[in-house]
Structure formats: C-alpha cells, structure tokens
Amino acid sequence: MYKVFMNDKPIILTDSPQREIGFEVYDFETVVLDEILHRLKKDKIDGIILFCENLQSCWRVFASHFKVVRAAGGLVVNPAKEFLFIYRGNKWDLPKGRIEKNESVESTAIREVEEECGIEGLHLDRFLLTTYHLFFQNNQNKLKVTDWFLMHSNYKGQLVPQIEEGITIAEFKDQKATQQALKNTYANIHLVFDAYAD
C-alpha cells in the first residue's frame, strides 16, 4: 500500500479491496488522475482509495505524473526521551530536506537535521519509513518522497533554527509537549511517530 497525502488528505493506492469510511474507491486503470486531485482540493472528502491489480506497476504510473523530489529527515530523541521539533509555516514539523547530487539518503538526513536545528553529534539508529506528499511549486505538481530515520542526540548546546528556511523554532519537547505539537502538524508526521512506536 502507498499512502500519498495532498493537503493532509490521503490518496491510498492498494491491491487490497479495503474500505474506509468517507473514502471513495476508484479503479486505478479507469480513473483520471487530474480529476481526483481536483476533487481532493475542492470537495469535502476525507480521502480516496485507488484499487490496483498490480500495486508496483500502478505506483510507477502514478509517480510518473509528477516531478519526484527525494528528501530525508530525522526523528531525533535525546536521553530524556524528548523529541526534536521545528516550527515553520504555523505548524510543528520534523527536520528534513532534499537529497543533493551524489549524496546518500543517510547523509542527507543527518545534514538536514544539523542545518535546520543547529545541532551536532547525531547518531543514526535505524530507518523508520518513507512518506509521500503532493505539492504544487513553480507551476508543477510535485511528489515529495521522504525517507525518515530514528536518530539519537546527547547535544547540550543551544539549538539554532535555520531562519532562511522559514524555521522560527527548533526545540526538544517532552512527552506532554510532543502530544500537544502533534495536534498542529502534518499527517505524515503522525506516520513517523507511529513507525517509531512499532
């Protein structure tokens, strides 16, 4: 299954004949993708399920409609079991960014967290999951594919948000503050925390 978010509404590509309340189901082979995207933007629907006979084949066709942007980021935990958040665009988020040419996904994840938060000495633990979301930029529909990693940090210094990237706060949050932040974040960030909890 692939779950692609557009304005926090999921497009679920699946080869399982599942149903979810409030989600319309379409056959991937007959659907017009632009119409689906338009409906998600304009209509009051919670999400859409696209049923596929061959999931990998459908995914390749789906992704070919967009300029794919690869990115990586991290869920950073310190010894006090606090999580590192950034605040950008009136939402709490996790640090992430685009993969540069000839850069590994792991190196990108560490670099982006360091740059966006002014942190050092990160330890990469394990891969968590890949998230997907659609956005519109420079007159083009884009599909951001982000690989997330669990990281650990003993950093004691002051965190410095990367203002030039629109980040106004970088801070570690305890369990209570994390739950509060998750009320004002993106659907994909919930998936990252779900993967961490598994």
Note the pLDDT tens digit of each residue in 144-190. 999 999 999 999 999 999 999 999 999 999 999 999 999 999 999 99
| Rounded Cα gap, residues 162 and 93, in angstroms | 13
* 41 membership: H or E segment, kind and range: helix 33-42
Which residue, chain included where needed, has tokens 């000495």? Answer: 121
Q: Residue 44's pLDDT is what?
A: 77
Q: For residue range 54-111, list pLDDT tens digits in order.
A: 999 999 999 999 999 999 999 999 999 999 999 999 999 999 999 999 999 999 999 9
Question: Residue 17's pLDDT is what?
Answer: 73
Give the H/E segment covering residue 35. helix 33-42
Q: Half-sphere exposure of residue 1, counting CA atoms within 13 Å on the CB side?
A: 10
**pTM of the predicted model as reported, rounded to 2 decimal places:** 0.93
| Range among 36-40, 45-49, 61-65, 133-137 with highest mean pLDDT value | 61-65
CATH class, domain 69-197, is: alpha beta
Specify whether the CB–CB gap between 9 and 40 falls below 8 A.
yes
Q: What is the pLDDT of residue 187?
A: 96
Distance in angstroms (rounded) separating the CA atoms of residues 99 and 101: 7
Given this model, what pLDDT does residue 158 score?
Answer: 96
Once rounded to an integer, what is the mean pLDDT over residues 8-35?
A: 87
Q: Domain boundaries in the chain? A: 2-63, 69-197
Q: What is the mean pLDDT of residues 123-141?
A: 93
For the chain, give the mean pLDDT.
94
What percent of the chain lies above the pLDDT cut of 70?
97
Q: What percent of the chain lies above the pLDDT cut of 90?
A: 83
The pLDDT of residue 122 is 98
What confidence score (pLDDT) does residue 139 get?
Answer: 83
Helix (H, G, I), strand (E, B) or coil at 150: strand
Dist CA 124 CA 77 (whole Å): 11
E strands, the chain, are 2-6, 9-14, 23-27, 47-51, 67-77, 83-88, 91-93, 96-98, 123-137, 140-152, 167-173
Burial (0-12, 13-18, 19+ Cβ within 10 Å), 41: exposed
Q: What is the pLDDT of residue 41?
A: 84
Indicate left, alpha or beta for 166 from its phi (over 0: left) and psi (-120 to 50: alpha). Answer: left
